[in-house]
């Protein structure tokens, strides 16, 4: 089977949930199913500017043939004005306004779309729904198209331009049931072939070094939050909550924020902001944490929650984030908070109750073993793609796509 | 590990690992209930302004739709934003910046204070109105009985007498065929084997949890919610077994309206139901007692589906029947 992935950024240097997910699926399809996989992407690493940083052209990465295209335009400065205006009432944006939003958001890549259209893949997987390559590509390819929305409840999801994106998908692949429910609340796609897949995780890839040593905390207990340190990911909120917590609960407890930094976190003697770290360091740090916190309300899957469970570390998640909360409710591997008071009560309880931490961690690990190990997961995905290929391309709805806005 | 002062051990914390998924769910719920109670008990411990600021930080990036449509969370956010502070921050990275800003602020404070006072008054009035609306909505909610979705009762299995009829009429369906409640997917697999493009839906999560792993297109969900998200005139057929008999009249009416819109003109509807006699028998399934509605007599279906060609197939024991309808 020949599979093409379309994603706006591609590569191990890219820190982005959807892009990482696309790359992992592509690589595991090659390695474990013997599929021929092409990835169509841009030369960008930064999802804010979409600046061309990598060389255009073809290369091979872990068995996947990667085709990179320069962007005709990255994110336009005018995007922010339009976005600010539309996010107040995205459902009421006009079709033209929301098309303009997609153009200004970038990356504008008509060459990429043309190349996907002309490729010889049996099926094309578009990942995620939000950007130009998917919006312009999914309705125009001749082969069956699978949409991996990677959607979360954000204003953009309500823009009218995405109706045709969803309507053009022959099949959908979701990260979680919560994501499927969200998409189906907004789009009439429930009868389409679909699956809730998620992502696979591997085993602990740490070196065995104590996490406290990696953080310079010695033997102090700590909680950890892994992922981009960003306002939108809840990092500033978590830092403020933790500062207040420490004012009310002085003691040795520290917090580590692990990941590339895109937000200003005020310095605090009990908060360590590591920046990007190696995979080995990340696993070492998470393994020895008392609790792993996912403060983000805008996740569509959250690999870091599953990685904590691989090491039997209990998690605490944002109560308003349906996918991470779904993980906790289905697995019994974590708790959630919806305010500072709940955050404090959850943390107090977990830190004081070692059997509870152990039990949550074990239940989380069992959940990962049951659902998110690569060999089983990638075979399910392969079978799913085969059924999509067998069904063929459905008749595109009329008037789906605007003319190329570039 | 240091135990924070004020931390409490709840009763749920003393249990040890083990048990079924259901037991795990009960355990997790009990832990969260204890935490909620503890959080509630701590109300008022933090300075009100700090708590408002922290709440606002939390809600800043909360999802638009908010999963449960949580009005109180939305109102907390409104309340946290009601007061507009006229005292503009003056911190600056430049040496004289803070002094310049402070000077400008002093010069303009009366004017800015006047404007922000008007805005705060307006926001407070809006917030009060929203609280009133919320109060009235809660009052209405107390008056209206909560919706009680019909349980699945006698959904059938691979040995059901009506299996072959369903396969005959749907094997060549002109589009995707939905089976609700699909259970472990027994009919979905048979329909796919017969050439149809079938998928299944079941509100009982356990049934689908297992089936999801074998790669079938089987999902957990309620049939009404599902049909609302189906593209109009896209289904080639629908089999409803175990889900219609206990529906309330309102639910059944909405179901039939949705099916009329979601099935293609040449689509086929198959409904399996217990008879009213079997529904009220002493040995009827427990779900029959818990359902908000009761099954129709088989002869009622041609009236309910006026405009459709309806065939009724009686079961061998007069306990159930099958309706096959086509426009």
Kindly report, residue by residue over A116-143, the tens digit of the pLDDT: 999 999 999 999 999 999 999 999 999 9
Distance to chain A for B78, nearest Cα, Å: 15
Average pLDDT over residues A326-355: 95
Which of B4, B36, B40 is the closest to A249 by Cβ?
B4
Which residue from A157, A244, A325 is facing B50, i.e. has the nearest CB?
A244
**Percent of chain A at pLDDT above 90?**
82
pLDDT for res B21: 67
**Strand-strand pairing, A123-126 and A171-174:** unpaired
Distance CA B184, CA B187 (A): 9
> In a structure prediction context, what are the per-residue pLDDT tens digits for chain B, which is 327 residues long?
444 444 444 445 434 444 566 678 888 899 999 999 999 999 899 998 899 889 888 887 777 555 445 677 678 777 877 888 888 888 888 888 999 999 999 999 899 999 999 999 999 999 999 999 988 988 998 888 777 778 898 899 999 999 999 999 999 898 999 999 999 899 999 999 999 999 999 998 677 766 656 667 999 899 999 999 999 999 999 999 999 999 999 999 999 999 999 999 999 999 999 999 999 999 998 889 989 999 999 999 999 999 999 999 999 998 999 999 998
Q: Which residues of A touch B35 (CB under 8 A)?
A: 335, 342, 345-346, 349
A380 and B43 within 8 Å at the Cβ level: the answer is no
For residue A401, pLDDT beyond 60: no
**Predicted pLDDT at A400:** 39
A176 and A79 in a common domain: yes
Residues of chain A positioned with their CB less than 8 A from the CB of B7: 348-349, 351-352
Give domain limits for chain B: 22-81, 163-326
Nearest to B9 among A320, A353, A376 (CB): A353
Do B82 and B55 touch, CB atoms closer than 8 A?
no
How many domains, in total, are found in chain A?
2
pLDDT confidence of A399, banded at 50, 70, 90?
Answer: very low
A270 and A366 both lie in a single domain: yes
Mean pLDDT estimate for chain A:
92
**What confidence score (pLDDT) does residue B24 get?**
80
What pLDDT, on the 0 to 100 scale, is given for residue B2?
43
Distance, in Å, from the CA atom of B26 to the CA atom of A74, rounded to the nearest integer, reads 50
Between strands A291-294 and A171-174, the pairing is unpaired
Q: What is the predicted pLDDT for the residue at B207?
A: 73
If we measure between CA atoms, which residue out of B176, B179, B130, B122 comes closest to residue B155?
B179
Same domain for A288 and A272: yes
| Residues B54, A188: C-beta atoms closer than 8 Å | no
Q: Within this chain, do residues A245 and A102 fall inside the same structural domain, yes or no?
A: no
Claim to verify: residue A35 and residue A140 sit in the same structural domain:
yes
**3-state percent breakdown (helix, strand, coil) of chain A, nearest 5:** 45, 20, 40
Reduced to 3 states, what is the DSSP secondary structure of residue A290?
A: coil
User: CB A339 to CB B55 under 8 A?
Assistant: yes
Residue B85 exposed, middle or buried by CB count within 10 Å (0-12, 13-18, 19+): exposed
Domain assignment present for A206? no
ipTM over 0.95 threshold: no
Of A187, A354, A371, the CB nearest to B1: A354
Nearest to B311 by CA among B198, B166, B125, B122: B166
pLDDT, one tens digit per residue, over A35-66 is 999 999 999 998 889 999 999 999 999 999 99
Residues A88 and A144 placed together within one structural domain of the fold: yes
Confidence of residue A406 (pLDDT cuts 50, 70, 90): very low
| pLDDT for the residue numbered A13 | 85
pLDDT computed for residue A32 by the predictor: 94
- Shortest distance between the Cα of B48 and any Cα of chain A, in A, equals 12
Together in a domain, A31 and A132: yes
pLDDT at B69: 55
Domain check: are A182 and A262 in the same one? Answer: no
B64–A251 C-beta distance less than 8 A: no
pLDDT tens per residue across span A148-166: 999 988 889 999 999 999 9
Same domain flag for A215 and A257 = yes
Residues 6+ apart with CB under 8 A from B76: A339, B55, B59
Sign of CA dihedral B67, B71, B74, B76: negative
Highest-pLDDT range among A91-100, A306-315, B210-219: A306-315
Q: Which residues contact A116 (CB under 8 A, 6 or more apart)?
A: A4, A6, A40, A124, A133, A137, A141
Which residues form the domain of A325?
A: 211-371
State the CATH number of the domain containing residue A304: 3.40.50.2000
- Indicate if A182 and A285 belong to the same structural domain: no
Q: What local confidence, expressed as pLDDT, does residue B213 receive?
A: 60
Q: What is the pLDDT of residue B144?
A: 82
Position A400 in a domain? no
Residues of chain B with Cβ-Cβ distance to A328 below 8 Å are 28
Which pLDDT value is given to residue A398? 41
Higher-confidence position of A88 and A115: A115
Mode of pairing for the β-strands spanning A57-61 and A64-69: antiparallel
Looking at the DSSP bridge assignments, the partners of residue A195 are: A173
Q: Is residue A402 part of a domain?
A: no
B296 backbone φψ class: left, alpha, beta (φ>0; ψ -120 to 50): beta
Q: Which of A209, A196, A226, A216 is nearest to A317 (CA)?
A: A226
The CA distance from B202 to the nearest CA of chain A, in Å, is 14
- What pLDDT is stored for residue B187 in this prediction? 95
Q: Are residues A340 and A309 in the same domain?
A: yes
Residues in chain A closer than 8 A to B234 (CB atoms): 191
| pLDDT recorded at residue B4 | 46
A325 contact residues in B (CB cutoff 8 A) = 67
Picking from A341, A378, A383, A384 by the largest number of B CB atoms within 10 A of its own CB, the best residue to mutate is A341
> Which residues of A fall within a CB distance of 8 Å from B197?
391
Whether residue A191 lies inside any domain: the answer is yes
pLDDT, position A143: 96
Instruction: Please tell me whether residues A153 and A302 are part of one structural domain.
Output: no
Say if CB A178 and CB A153 are below 8 A apart. no
| CATH architecture of residue range(s) B163-326 | 3-Layer(aba) Sandwich (3.40)
Residue A340: pLDDT over 90 = yes
B220 CB neighbours in chain A (<8 A) are: 177
Angstrom distance (rounded) from CA A244 to CA A248: 6
Count how many pairs of residues, chain A against chain B, have C-beta atoms within 8 Å: 189
């Amino acid at each position: 089977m020949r599979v093409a992935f379309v994603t706006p950024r591609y590569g191990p240097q890219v820190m982005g949930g959807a892009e990482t997910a696309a790359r992992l699926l592509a690589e595991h399809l090659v390695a474990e199913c013997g599929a021929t996989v092409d990835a169509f992407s841009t030369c960008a690493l930064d999802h804010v500017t979409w600046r061309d940083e990598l060389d255009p052209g073809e290369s091979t990465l872990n068995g996947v043939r990667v085709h990179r295209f320069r962007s005709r335009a990255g994110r336009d400065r005018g995007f922010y004005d339009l976005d600010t205006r539309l996010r107040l009432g995205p459902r009421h944006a006009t079709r033209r306004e929301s098309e303009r939003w997609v153009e200004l958001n970038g990356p504008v890549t008509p060459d990429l779309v043309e190349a996907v259209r002309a490729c010889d893949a049996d099926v094309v997987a578009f990942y995620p729904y939000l950007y130009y390559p998917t919006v312009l590509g999914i309705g125009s390819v001749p082969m069956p198209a699978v949409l991996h929305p990677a959607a979360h409840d954000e204003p953009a999801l309500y823009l009218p331009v995405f109706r045709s994106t969803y309507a053009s998908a022959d099949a959908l692949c979701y990260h979680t049931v919560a994501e499927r429910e969200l998409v189906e609340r907004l789009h009439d796609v429930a009868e389409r072939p679909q699956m809730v897949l998620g992502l696979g995780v591997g085993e602990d890839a740490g070196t065995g070094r104590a996490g406290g040593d990696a953080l310079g905390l010695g033997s102090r207990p700590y909680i950890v939050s892994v992922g981009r340190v960003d306002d939108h990911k809840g990092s500033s909120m978590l830092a403020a909550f933790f500062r207040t917590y420490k004012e009310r609960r002085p003691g040795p407890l520290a917090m580590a924020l692990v990941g590339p930094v895109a937000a200003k976190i005020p310095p605090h003697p009990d908060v360590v902001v590591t920046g990007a770290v190696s995979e080995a360091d990340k696993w070492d740090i998470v393994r020895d944490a008392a609790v792993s916190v996912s403060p983000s309300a805008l996740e569509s899957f959250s690999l870091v929650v599953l990685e904590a469970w691989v090491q039997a570390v209990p998690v605490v998640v944002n109560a308003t984030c349906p996918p991470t909360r779904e993980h906790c409710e289905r697995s019994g591997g974590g708790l959630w908070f919806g305010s500072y008071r709940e955050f404090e009560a959850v943390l107090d309880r977990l830190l004081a109750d070692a059997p509870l931490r152990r039990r949550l961690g074990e239940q989380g690990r069992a959940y990962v073993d049951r659902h998110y190990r690569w060999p089983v997961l990638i075979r399910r995905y392969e079978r799913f793609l085969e059924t999509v290929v067998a069904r063929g391309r459905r008749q595109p709805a009329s008037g789906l796509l605007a003319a190329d806005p570039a | 590990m240091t135990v924070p002062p004020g931390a409490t051990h709840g009763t749920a914390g003393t249990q040890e690992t083990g048990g079924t998924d259901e037991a795990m769910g009960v355990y997790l719920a009990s832990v969260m209930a204890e935490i909620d109670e503890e959080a509630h008990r701590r109300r008022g411990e933090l300075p009100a302004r700090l708590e408002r600021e922290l709440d606002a930080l939390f809600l800043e990036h909360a999802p638009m739709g908010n999963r449960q449509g949580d009005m109180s969370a939305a109102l907390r956010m409104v309340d946290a934003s009601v007061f507009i502070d006229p005292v503009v921050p003056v911190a600056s990275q430049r040496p004289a910046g803070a002094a310049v800003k402070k000077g400008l602020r002093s010069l303009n404070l009366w004017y800015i204070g006047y404007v922000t006072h008007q805005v705060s008054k307006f926001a407070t009035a809006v917030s009060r109105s929203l609280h009133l609306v919320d109060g009235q909505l809660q009052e209405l909610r107390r008056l209206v009985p909560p919706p009680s979705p019909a349980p699945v009762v006698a959904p059938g299995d691979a040995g059901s007498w009506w299996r072959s009829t369903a396969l005959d009429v749907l094997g060549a369906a002109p589009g995707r065929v939905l089976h609700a409640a699909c259970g472990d997917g027994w009919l979905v697999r048979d329909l796919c084997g017969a050439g149809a493009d079938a998928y299944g839906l079941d509100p009982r999560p356990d049934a689908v949890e297992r089936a999801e792993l074998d790669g079938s297109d089987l999902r957990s969900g309620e049939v009404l919610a599902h049909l609302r998200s189906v593209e109009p005139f896209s289904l080639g057929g629908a089999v409803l077994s175990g889900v219609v008999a206990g529906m309330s009249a309102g639910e059944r009416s909405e179901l039939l309206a949705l099916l009329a819109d979601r099935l293609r003109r040449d689509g086929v509807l198959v409904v399996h139901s217990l008879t009213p006699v079997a529904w009220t028998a002493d040995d009827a399934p427990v779900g029959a007692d818990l359902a908000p509605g009761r099954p129709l007599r088989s002869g009622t279906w041609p009236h309910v589906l006026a405009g459709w060609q309806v065939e009724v197939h009686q079961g061998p024991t007069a306990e159930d029947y099958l309706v096959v309808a086509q426009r």
